[in-house]
Amino acid sequence: MDRLEGKRAIVTGAGAGIGRSIALRLASEGARVAIADVDESAAGKVASEIEGETLARRTDVTRAGEVEDLVAGVVEAWGGLDVMVNNAGVGVAATAVETTEEDYERVMDVCVKGTLLGMKYAIPAIRRAGGGSVINMSSVAALVGITDRAVYSAAKGAILSMTRAAAVDHVEEGVRVNCIAPGTVDTPWISRITSGYEEPEAARANMQARQPHGRFVTPEEIAAMAAYLAADESASCIGACMVVDGGVTAR
Ligand SMILES: NC(=O)c1ccc[n+]([C@@H]2O[C@H](COP(=O)([O-])OP(=O)(O)OC[C@H]3O[C@@H](n4cnc5c(N)ncnc54)[C@H](O)[C@@H]3O)[C@@H](O)[C@H]2O)c1
């Protein structure tokens, strides 16, 4: 498939998990992809997995100057930007009672401020390129109550609301803004969460069991949705929340 031929894309948090799979998928469909991650060596490794033209950039999405430089660097190298995937995110497994102020600030900063900054600097560049697609990473935690995810749910709910607001702000400029709401996806993040439980294997089995289709969603399944949203064939998807959750929200 070459439906992304000629497109220039940035994926944040692309050094691991879902972001890595999205970067590989966009590249496999013909896009030039910039791999951005706060972990520079992880970004470099993912870039080396891609055969086509690519860039690896150390970028902390909570820092305005770094996000601005990331977008400017891609525009300078490739003459413009067509697709921005604001994927970087962190979570905390805690109820409202248990959540610390530090965790609140970290999760809101990376998820909400990071997504805002990604849109703030990418949208003007995409507009100048004649239009394109912004893909934000929400979660089913924005749509249904999930235990131990109080602040993470708030952050992902904010991303969903911001996606809709930005979609109507920029639709006339040819910039489409959508988000994806994954269910539980098997990434390094899952191991980090389960390692905090007394019985990590049981915690992993529980997370899998809460998926109605009985397994984790794969990062590749989320990447396939991102590729669709990046492609022109999704031209009528504006402010949409694309649920890829194995049936969690259908219950
Ligand atoms: N895994 C899931 O079950 C799941 C479900 C729904 C939504 N999501 C969302 O998908 C996205 C990716 O999740 P994942 O499971 O692949 O996570 P992950 O932890 O496996 O990978 C996240 C990547 O983001 C990078 N990152 C963290 N903070 C950053 C920052 N400030 N700036 C730039 N990069 C940063 C990390 O270095 C890492 O490479 C997140 O937004 C997450 O909330 C994940």
Which ligand 1 atom is nearest residue 90's CA? 43
Bigger pLDDT: 174 vs 195: 174
Range of the domain at 13: 8-89+110-146+158-182+217-243
Cα–Cα distance for residue pair 17/215, rounded to 1 Å: 17
Query: Tens of pLDDT along 204-232?
Result: 898 888 899 999 999 999 999 999 999 99
Instruction: Give the span between the Cα atoms of 79 and 42, in whole angstroms.
Output: 26
pLDDT band at residue 2 under the 50/70/90 scheme: very high
Query: 171 lies in a domain?
Result: yes
User: CATH number for the domain including 85?
Assistant: 3.40.50.720
* CA–CA gap between residue 199 and residue 215 (Å, rounded): 19
Q: What are phi and psi of 58, to 5 degrees?
A: -70, 115
CA of 16 to the centre of ligand 1 (A): 7
Residue 22: closest CA among 182, 224, 190, 180: 224
Q: Is residue 82 part of a domain?
A: yes
Angle, CA 77 vertex, CA 75 and CA 79 arms, to 5°: 50
User: Domain for residue 37, yes or no?
Assistant: yes
Asked if residue 96 belongs to a domain, the reply is no
Helix (H) or strand (E) holding 241, with range, is: strand 241-244
- Cα angle at 47 between 46 and 48, to 5 degrees? 90
Inside any domain, residue 42: yes
Q: pTM, whole model, 2 decimals?
A: 0.98
Q: Give pLDDT, residue 198.
A: 86
Ligand 1 close to Cβ of residue 61 (< 6 A): yes
Query: Residue 191: inside a domain, yes or no?
Result: no
Can you tell me which atom of ligand 1 is nearest the CA of 141?
6
- 42-58: pLDDT as tens digits: 999 999 999 999 999 99
Q: How many separate domains does the chain show? A: 1
Does some domain include residue 81?
A: yes
Task: Report if residue 163 sits inside a domain.
Answer: yes
**Residue 98, pLDDT above cutoff 90:** yes
